């Protein structure tokens, strides 16, 4: 879903946001929520109210994780990143569900229109 170049860019940004202070956070710990947030945005989460809510929560948790990592609180930062990733994943699923549901409704509407034309 997310290109390898995109993941590499996210990883570099993640490293820069955490800093060089000897953090015990892995690159994946920081990069995964960022990649999931991007995936949610690409899936159209901003257009689906519930998905948009979870996308906002994911972004908020990501910011909190970045702040905690800068303060050296890696344990709490790691938990904030995990929450961010979970909210972003849920946002992706909600956006996809809404898109599938809309397509299904279009198919039902089309079938109904065809059956009335008989």
117 pLDDT above the threshold of 90: no
109 pLDDT above the threshold of 60: yes
93 pLDDT above the threshold of 90: yes
Contact criterion met (CB below 8 Å) for 61 and 81: yes
Q: For the chain, which residues make up each domain, given as ranges?
A: 4-17+26-116
1 pLDDT above the threshold of 80: no
Which is more confident, 48 or 118?
48
Contact criterion met (CB below 8 Å) for 18 and 66: yes
DSSP conformation letters of 71-117: TT-HHHHHHHHHHHHHHHHHHHHHHHHHHHHHHHHHHHHHHHHHHHT
pLDDT in tens, 14-26: 545 444 455 688 9
Contact criterion met (CB below 8 Å) for 56 and 27: no
Token readout for 27 is: 């690159």
Q: Rounded to two decimals, what is the model's pTM? A: 0.74
Find where tokens 């860019």 sit: 9
8 vs 22: CA distance, rounded Å: 21
Which pLDDT belongs to residue 3? Answer: 54
pLDDT in tens, 2-50: 455 555 444 545 545 444 455 688 999 999 999 999 999 999 999 999 9
- Which of 78, 97, 75 is CA-nearest to residue 86? 78
């Amino acid at each position: 879903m997310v290109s390898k170049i995109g993941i590499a860019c996210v990883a570099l940004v993640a490293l820069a946001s955490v800093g060089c202070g000897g953090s015990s956070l892995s690159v994946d710990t920081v990069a995964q929520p960022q990649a999931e947030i991007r995936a949610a945005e690409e899936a159209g989460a901003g257009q689906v109210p519930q998905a948009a809510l979870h996308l906002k929560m994911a972004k908020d948790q990501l910011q909190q994780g970045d702040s905690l990592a800068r303060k050296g609180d890696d344990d709490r930062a790691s938990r904030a990143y995990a929450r961010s990733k979970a909210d972003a994943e849920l946002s992706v699923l909600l956006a996809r569900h809404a898109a599938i549901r809309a397509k299904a409704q279009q198919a039902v509407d089309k079938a109904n229109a065809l059956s009335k034309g008989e």
